[in-house]
Amino acid sequence: MVMENSAYKILLVEDDKLDQMAFERLIKGENLPYDYTVAGSVSHARSILDSNVFDVVIVDYSLGDGTAFDVFKLVKDTPIIVTTGIGDEEIAVKAMKAGAYDYLTKDQERNYLKVLPEIIKNVISHKQTEDELKEYHDNLETLVKERTDQLAREKELLSVTLSGMGDGVVAVDAQKRIMLFNKVAENLTGWKFGEVQSKPVDGIFRVVNEQTKKAIKIPIDKVLGSGKVEVWANGEVLVGRDGNKCPISATAAPIRKNDGTIVGVVMVFRDVSRECEIDRMKADIISLVSHELRTPITSIKAYTETLLCAPNMPEQSRRRFLAVIDEESNRLTNLVEGLLELSRIESGAVKIVRKPVDIAAVVNQVSSALQPLADKKHIRLSTDIGRELPKLKGDEGKIRSVVTNLVSNAIKFTPEGGRVSVCVQHGTGELIMRVSDTGMGIPEKELPKIFGRFYRVYRPDTQIQGTGLGLAIVKKIVMMHDGRIEVESEVGKGTTFTVFLPLKVNRLYRKPSEDRKHTSLAKMR
């Protein structure tokens, strides 16, 4: 029996016909909003429950084919009210332990039915509350899991970000205990995060003044005192765990709570050794250029003033003065042209035009052009060029400049009666050119410096004029061709420069600033 358009679905499992009828009269008499179904046995209840879901199940304890506990097995997540005429306390306890919401004892007048609507109302309200709590609990679990996953992702992202940063990062709490220490900070200080975590930063991060060498306070102290961002970039030197020192710049900022209270400080710092080196190089270059420019200008000015002040100077002296002026003018021109060429190469403004180059022809042309210079010093200039050399894919003008610079240098630094030889061979995947001389040689300690701008080997007894830019230009051109240059020398016996030029082009030329890691291109023995 089913009532249509009702609020609650009720299943009554009852084998007593009179009790069934009394239940129906109650619903109709009270006009209760129940959509009810009656089952007369456990098996009947099973068939109904297979295809229906109810809000409440009311079950008699004793049924013809079983007991209320058999119905318990059929019902999942539905409140059960047990009714019985036995009134046994043991059964009541057993029923409640099995999951019954309530236990009612039948009486002959069936007065228990009068309280049944209120109990059903309470049962459904209780079930709704349980469902809401369960939903809230499930949502809370989901929210906690999502938040936990989010925090894990953020932590991983922070860890990856900090590890990938090129700067060191240190974070401390208000007591200056280290809370965060990234990989770069480990490398610069020599300490591992596991060793310094929760330890005072003062004993780990030690800084001295570059000039006075005295210990100075780190920015973290200032930030904790002032609450303002502090910046360092003025001669601060970090002293590592092993005593090594490196100049640094640093920025420290306060970590605040929402109410503005400072709870710590984060400091970002980096090694500025490269910047300091560049600054020193700039200063050196300015000094060198000033000196190199001043010397020929001073000579030109002095000789010119002398000529102007002595109109009746003997012709022989006049010619000698004019020759000096011409020589110094050429020196000045070569210096400016060398500077401009080196600057264009380093800025990337010079592009190489790769075409097949017959290096044998280039060497022969250069040797012929420089033969008069060799003859003037009675130097034997010879070439040894291998047979059937493959053509090099490169810029012929730049290759000629390399050969010219190396051969002219060899002649310049070889005393009269010496020898200069140029040898070209076919190596494995490359052409190898050696320019050897029997000249003055280069001290071993000077070898790493000879490719630097304006560098010239100091020779107390003999100073040969030059701009000091030739070898720097040679090295840059060789690098532009993906090659490398090596030098071997012995004082008093001579020098050999060896240039390796690959026959296969593997990549486009990059600016020198992009080739910092390719130091092997200028390997020196």
Mean pLDDT of 174-179: 88
Domains of the chain: 8-133 (3.40.50.2300), 165-271 (3.30.450.20), 279-347 (1.10.287.130), 355-522 (3.30.565.10)
Percent of the chain surpassing pLDDT 70? 84
Q: Examine the pLDDT at 449 and tell me if it is beyond 70.
A: yes
Model confidence, pTM: 0.43
Distances, alpha carbon 74 to alpha carbons 42, 83, 102, 222, in Å: 9, 17, 18, 73
Mean pLDDT (the chain, rounded): 82
* 346 pLDDT tier (thresholds 50, 70, 90): low
Residues 6+ apart with CB under 8 A from 459: 440
For tokens 């605040």, name the residue: 256
450-507 pLDDT, tens digit each: 887 666 665 555 555 555 677 888 888 898 888 999 999 998 899 999 999 998 765 4
Greater pLDDT, 342 or 491: 491
β-sheet with 245-256: strand ranges across: 178-181, 168-173, 262-271, 245-256, 230-239, 206-209
Q: Examine the pLDDT at 321 and tell me if it is beyond 80.
A: yes
DSSP 5: S
Q: Examine the pLDDT at 428 and tell me if it is beyond 80.
A: yes
Rounded CA gap, 307 and 454, in Å? 31
Rounded CA gap, 271 and 268, in Å? 11
98-107 pLDDT, tens digit each: 888 888 888 8
